[in-house]
Amino acid sequence: MTSSTSIRLAAQHGNSTTGDRRHKPLTGESVQSKPDRPLRVLIVEDELLVAENTKEVLKASGFQVAGICRTGEEVIARFEKFNPDLVLMDIRLAGTLDGIQTAVVIHNTLRETPILFMTAFTPGHFPHLSAVRRGLYDYIAKPCEPPELIAHLRDLWKRTQNQ
């Protein structure tokens, strides 16, 4: 199993109306190797300076930035268009929904896309984090350095593809 299979499947799932919408490989093979097309990451961050820098960091590390959103509402409305493989999301956002609520909507109504939360708060500050589907998210504390961010994103991707 190559990672390209996984990516293709992700794209299929993005357009699929069938029940199983997970980024699950067709076989049990590992997806440790680098995909032949860049992974698409949606950045959800209300601080655009942070988002802009994150975009450059991701691009420099071989990711493709699917888009930048400032609110959870915008993520939900444009999710299919952005078609991300991963979501990198702040928890405190500009709109009404916070990152955790947005994640729950994504997983329950759109796709089971892995989400890396990036926030200046501690996870204990958000009791409703437990509402997010287990195994489909990870957490990184702000401020974080680019290598740490990239490592977390890659780990989350590998972990979710192996499930």
Partner 1 sequence: MIASIIDSSDDAIYSKSLEGTILSWNRSAERMFGYRPEEIIGRPGSLMTPDDRADEIPHILERIKKGERIDHYETIRKRKDGGLITISLTVSPIKDSEGTIIAASSIARDITSESRNSDIRNFLASIVDSSDDAILSKDLNGIILSWNLGAQRLYGYSPEEIVGHHVSILAPPDLPDDIPNIMERLNKGERIDHYETTRVTKDGRKLNISLTVSPILDTHGRVIAASAIARDITARKHDELERARLVVELEKSLAQKNILLQEVYHRVKNNLQVISSLLNLRSKYAMKNPEQASVAFKESIERIRAISLVHEKLYQAPDLEKLDFVAYLRALIDQVVHAYTINKKVELKISGDAFEVGLGTAISLGLILNELVTNSLKHAFALKHEGVIEIRCSGTSDALHIEYCDDGAGLPPDVDFETADSFGFRIVKLLIKQLQGSIAVSGVNRTTFHMTILKPQGGL
Q: Which residues bind partner 1 (CB under 8 A)?
A: 46-50, 52-54, 56-57, 70, 92, 120-121, 125, 141-146
Give the nearest distance from C-beta 153 to partner 1 in angstroms: 16
Strand ranges for the chain from DSSP E: 40-44, 64-69, 86-89, 115-119, 137-141
Strand partners, 119: 141
The residue (of 38 and 146) whose beta carbon lies closer to partner 1 is 146
Q: How far is the CB of 58 from partner 1 (least distance, A)?
A: 12
DSSP state at residue 84: -
CB of 50 to partner 1, least distance (A): 5
Burial of 143 (0-12, 13-18, 19+ CB in 10 A): exposed
Nearer residue to partner 1 within complex by CB, 49 or 134? 49
Q: Output the smallest distance, CB 142 to partner 1, in A.
A: 4
**Bond into 84 cis (ω within 30):** no
